[in-house]
Amino acid sequence: MLRWVVIFLIVALVASVFGFFGVASAAVGIAKLIFFIAVVGFVISLVMHLLSGRRP
């Protein structure tokens, strides 16, 4: 999932260099959205692991 964030950030950088500011802002917005979804997924996974109560 974080690979998509990097891809959209690269697309945004390339688009901004060539002057496609609308495409660049859309790509940055998508990258931010995917990044925050990944962070929320990580936090939920971490909490579920801590609450699972698995003891050796």
pLDDT digits (tens, 9 = 90+) for 14-36: 888 888 888 888 888 988 898 89
pLDDT at 17: 86
Alpha carbon separation from 25 to 1, 13, 16, 31, 43 (Å, rounded): 20, 10, 8, 10, 27
Q: What is the reported pTM?
A: 0.70
Q: Name the DSSP letter for residue 18.
A: T
* CB-CB contact of 17 with 29 (8 Å): no
Tokens of 16: 């901004």
